[in-house]
Structure 1
């Protein structure tokens, strides 16, 4: 894969070129506000299953379920791209009618930019089974770090009901208040950090056609700014992607379905020339899609 594509408006490309940046929106203020919590809910379900179904690991299940309640999207910003150029659903969903553009960025330049900032460029995960597998793998790794029960499972299962209750209480106290608490807390903190990285990449299977990639910026160094949305102010940061290591990142612009498509094409070429980007290829979409 050589390029990733960002769908935007005519005003959007003006903002990109003037600031030499793309906007990354706070995760709480994405178009679908539930996206971040989609992955987090999976993790809570796994923890809940341990609590309900495995008495032997009840203290572990309780610890991770309790810890996941503190996971949030604070200081987490997201910029979205698609693997696919000139996609009808993207024109419809992310561009104003008759005035959309698709900006093609060199993948290697985006990746180098992210590495220079300590940010992540990763592919979204749509398949439900793969999402479950990813979360279960993290929970398994967390348990490897977590203090183990005093009894082996085989010995625990030989205990009577009272003995099991006492063993569970001892395990819970040891990991929540006693000598094993530092190790337990460190394991749960690790899991929460990993889940907070994974959650922004989980999307509903119904959106798989978008083939989305995301830049995920945790605790960014950029100044937080605000833009007006329909009913609230959305916090965002500017990722300066057209300077420094990513100066040549923008490689093409596709003019979407448009009642004045060729006039728009001409104006985009003039705009790019004025910013010293005359080498960026400009195309027009051949899609027969009328949205105006």
Structure 2
């Protein structure tokens, strides 16, 4: 895979070239507001199951669930791309009728930009089983660093009911208030940070055709700005992906279905030349889609 594609409007390419930036929207204000919390809910369900069903590890399950309640999408911003160029569903969903463009960015250049900023360029995960597995792996990793019960599971199971309750309470107190609290807190904090990193990559399997990749910018250094959405203001930051020396990040532009496709193609070539980007390839979509 050489390119990742960003679908936009005619106004969009004007803004991107003028500013050398693309917008990354706050994760709580994406088109599907539930996306971030989709992955978080898996972890909460897993922790709740441990707490309710496994008395031996109930203190661990409670600590994980309690920690995850504080996780939010604050200071988390997302810019979206697709592996697929000239995709009908993308023209329909993300571009104005008869006036859409698909911008092809060099993957290596995007990755270099992200590495320099401490951001991440990652592929979205659509398969439900894979999403669950990733969360389970993180919770298991968390338990490796979490204080362990002082009794073995076998010894615990051999206790009478009252002694089991006493052991469970003792484990909870040791990890929530006692000497082992710092170790427990550190393990939970690492888990919450890791969940925050992967949650923006979880998407409903029904959107798998989009083959989406995302730049995930956590605690970005860029200032927060605001744009109008249909019924609210959406916070965003501007990522300077076309800054020096990465001007070559933009490699191609595809003109979407358009009633004046040839005229649009000619004007986009003139626009690119005015920014010193004459080598960017300009193509037209052959899709017989009429939306105007």
CA distance in 1, matches of 2:243, 2:100: 24
Cα distance in 1, alignment partners of residues 117 and 60 from structure 2: 35
Q: CA deviation at 1:265?
A: 0.5
Does 2:94 align with 1:91?
no
1:74-97 CA-partner distances (Å, limit 9, x unpaired)? 000000000000000000000011
User: Map of 1:106-255 to 2, 5 A cutoff?
Assistant: 106-255=106-255
2:269 aligns with 269
Report the CA distance shift for 1:165/1:245 in structure 2 as closer, same or farther (over 3 A).
farther
* CA deviation string 1:118-164 (max 9, x = no partner): 00000000000000000000000000000000100010000011110
Contact 1:109 1:245 in 2 (8 A): no
CA shift digits 1:185-212 (9 cap, x unpaired): 0000000000000100000000000000
Residues of 2 paired with 1:178 and 1:127: CA distance?
A: 41
In structure 2, stretches of 5+ residues that fail to align are: none
> TM-score when scaled to structure 1?
0.99
Q: Shift of residue 244 of structure 1? A: 2.1
Secondary structure of 1:155's partner? helix
TM-align CA RMSD: 0.6
TM-score, normalization by structure 2: 0.99
Distance between the aligned counterparts of 1:37 and 1:246, measured in 2?
34
Question: Unaligned regions of 5+ residues in structure 1, if any?
Answer: none
CA contact (8 A) 1:29 1:235 kept: yes
Structure 2 distance, partners of 1:75, 1:245, is 27
Q: Is the 8 Å Cα contact of residues 112 and 245 (structure 1) preserved in structure 2? A: no
Q: Which moved more, 1:239-248 or 1:13-22?
A: 239-248
Runs of 4+ in 1 over 2 A off after TM superposition: none
Distance 2:290 2:67 in 1: 49
Once residues 161 and 243 of structure 1 are traced to their aligned partners in structure 2, the CA distance between those partners, rounded to angstroms, is 66
Aligned residue pairs, count:
292
